[in-house]
Amino acid sequence: MDLASKLAAGVEVLGLQAMVTPEMQEKCLAYMALMQKWNKVYNLTAVRDSEEMLVLHVLDSLSVLPFVEAGNVLDVGSGGGLPGLIIAITRPEVEVTTIDTVQKKAIFMRQVKAELGLSNAQVVHGRVEAYAPPTRFSQVISRAFSDIALFKQLTAHLIAPQGRWLAMKGVVPSDELAQAKVIPKEVIRLHVPYLQAERHLIVFENT
């Protein structure tokens, strides 16, 4: 099965055919192609194989789409743009900001934004604790950024009242939750097509 067919099948398994159009799927593949090209020089990700990249990066990011609400979202420690740029591609009504401390990753994300025409995406190079945007975010998401307590602490000044933190994790991080001394609003089990490992989305509300 070629990559386009595998992506289309994965979108179907996720039940996202109505949301992720064939044109958006093409953009996801174009994003992947850019990542592979830049990876040779910039080492953006340890994942080299294109099929692994499709599953571990693209489909993993797509799995959270149903839980991202309208409004604006900040992707913290975005790296090469995951899940932020995938959200920007597939949810044009959502204003997406990605932030990373590594300059080459920010340069790459800006190149993706330009080449794919993502007018709803903004890329910030800097430290999240020093970031001072004009408005706060209704959602703050992270994928492998840090433990939950630190994630919430570093972004507390960026989240709107009643806003939501979305932490993408593997197995349920019971130790992290105990250390954070906070009860999540939801723990959502994600089913990523072609992936055997457990994935969860931990949701907190800024009450």
Strand partners, 168: 143, 201
Binding residue positions: 77, 82, 128-129, 143
Residue pLDDT tens, the chain, 207 long: 899 999 999 999 999 999 999 999 999 999 999 999 999 888 888 888 999 999 999 999 999 999 999 999 999 999 999 999 999 999 999 999 999 999 999 999 999 999 999 999 999 999 999 999 999 999 999 997 889 999 999 999 999 999 999 999 999 999 999 988 889 999 999 999 999 999 999 999 998
Question: Who's near 19: CB < 8 A, 6+ residues apart?
Answer: 65, 66, 90, 91
Binding residue positions for S-adenosyl-L-methionine: 77, 82, 128-129, 143
Q: Is the dihedral of CA 158, 163, 167, 168 positive or negative?
A: negative
pTM for the full predicted model: 0.96
Residue pointed to by tokens 């007018």:
119
How many other C-beta atoms can be found within 10 angstroms of the C-beta atom of residue 125?
A: 16
How many other C-beta atoms can be found within 10 angstroms of the C-beta atom of residue 154?
A: 20
User: Among residues 75, 74, 89, which one has the least CA distance to residue 29?
Assistant: 89
Alpha-carbon gap, residue 186 to 181, rounded angstroms: 15
Which residue ranges form the domains of the chain, and what is each CATH number? 61-205 (3.40.50.150)
Question: Who's near 163: CB < 8 A, 6+ residues apart?
Answer: 136, 137, 138, 139, 140, 205, 206
First-residue to last-residue Cα distance in the chain: 46
> Across the chain, how many H-helices and E-strands are there?
8, 7
Pairing of strands 94-100, 121-125: parallel
Task: Indicate the DSSP class of residue 188.
Answer: E
